[in-house]
Amino acid sequence: MTTANITVIGAGVVGLTTALVLSKHANFKVTVVAKHMPGDYDIEYASPWAGANYLPVGVPGTNLQRFERDTWPELHRICTEVAEAGIHFQDTLIYKREKDVHTSTGEWLNELCKKDAWFRDILPNFRILPASELPPGIDSATAFTSVCINTAIYLPWLVGQCVKAGVIIKRAIVSHVAEAASLHHTGEPAGVVVNCTGLSAGKLGGVEDPTVFPARGQIVIVRNDPGVMSTISGTDDGPDEATYIMQRAVGGGTILGGCLQKGSWESQPDPNLALRIMKRCVDLCPQLTGGKGIEALSIIRHGVGLRPMRKDGPRVEKEKIANVWVVHNYGHGGYGYQSSYGSAAAAEKLVESILKEKARL
Ligand code: FAD
């Protein structure tokens, strides 16, 4: 078996998951280079800011839907078998209001809110709520079991899994994608570079994808216990505002969200939006504060992250740039965790196909 050197650019959930999947090949020597690493909180680094949960939104037949479908078994396995990874199962409620269907948030959550959602036979305990159980103003609702990931535990766990498997991780800022080939830890050039740079794929030399854009998400992290993970199809505060509640595993607090502000690069929390988020979450889930209103929320911190959106969804493709084979794996929008293993497996296939082709020549 010939040895293959591979450099992955990026240590977000997509880069680390891809490196981990590649490291299972005994003949692959994998280096990860990244500007930001788990432990950093930066507006250029989306992964720490995510909830993160598994709420599928991919339209059947798209890459995203396949990646989401292929990711669930591994998240389920980790959740069941690896307590220290920081993932737990959560009872989940999805509420739909017909009036949200054509709003930005309603379109984002369209597949998630369907009574005949494609994942109804995949996620455990899927059921449609009877009309008698619907809160006022809600037209339909579904319930199922999903997971919530504590990103502050899970990202370092991924780093640990990579290191244990022999991956070398180092800090570097890459200005051109092909330059990463020369950053392999062996000192020899990498035969393949995997580009997991998220939103930065818009400005990375040799890539400069003009269809990448941010969708700003603002959150409040609190100590209160919601009891259940819940989301609703929209709000009365604007078409790009959202309401979702999820409790992170192992003491990670509860995430209250949010919004989906396309094109906004603003890194600072908006205090007025924070108030609206807290009010909507307590309205949706009064048990958060035992019926005492938002004054009884115990705030840990406010946060803002930029979802790395791409017009046509995640890009997993191979391309030769400046004589270096590159496998792209970026543009995972608001679904980088829930599509991580499916997308990494697709990138792995492309790496294998490049190496096979090289061996043939
Ligand atoms: P990033 O995490 O941004 O990582 C990019 C990496 O590339 C970093 O290490 C960076 O330093 C590196 N990099 C970039 N350019 C260079 C360069 N030139 N040189 C070297 N390194 C470079 N997803 C879910 O699945 N479920 C959720 O519940 C969820 N909730 C979210 C809530 C919010 C508020 C936000 C903001 C996002 C949420 N997401 C969720 C989306 C998820 O966070 C993203 O899809 C995911 O983090 C993208 O991961 P990534 O690895 O592609 O990018």
57 marked among binding-site residues? no
244 marked among binding-site residues? yes
Structure tokens at 31: 């280096």
In this prediction, the answer to ipTM > 0.95 reads yes
CA–CA dist 316, 330 (Å, integer): 7
Which pLDDT score is estimated for 334?
Answer: 98
Largest pairwise CA distance in the chain: 70
At 79 the three-state DSSP class reads helix
pLDDT single digits (tens) 315-325:
999 999 999 99
Are residues 242 and 276 in contact, defined by beta-carbon separation less than 8 angstroms?
Answer: no
CA distances from 32 to 11, 57, 73, 303, 311 (A): 7, 29, 25, 27, 27
Confidence band, pLDDT 50/70/90 cuts, at residue 360: confident
Cα four-point dihedral sign 51, 55, 58, 59: negative
pLDDT single digits (tens) 273-317:
999 999 999 999 999 999 899 999 999 999 999 999 999 999 999
CA–CA dist 199, 43 (Å, integer): 10
Percent of the chain with pLDDT over 90: 98
Q: Whose CA is nearest to atom 24 of ligand 1?
A: 335
Ligand 1 centroid vs 358 CA: distance in angstroms? 31
Q: Name the strands in the sheet holding 315-321, side by side, starting at the edge strand that comes first in the sequence.
A: 168-171, 28-34, 4-9, 192-195, 324-330, 315-321
Half-sphere exposure of 120 (CA within 13 A, CB side): 12
* Eight-state DSSP code of residue 205: B
Confidence band, pLDDT 50/70/90 cuts, at residue 82: very high
Strand duo 4-9 + 127-128: pairing: unpaired
Answer yes or no: pTM beyond 0.95: yes
> For ligand 1, what atom is nearest to the CA of residue 218?
34
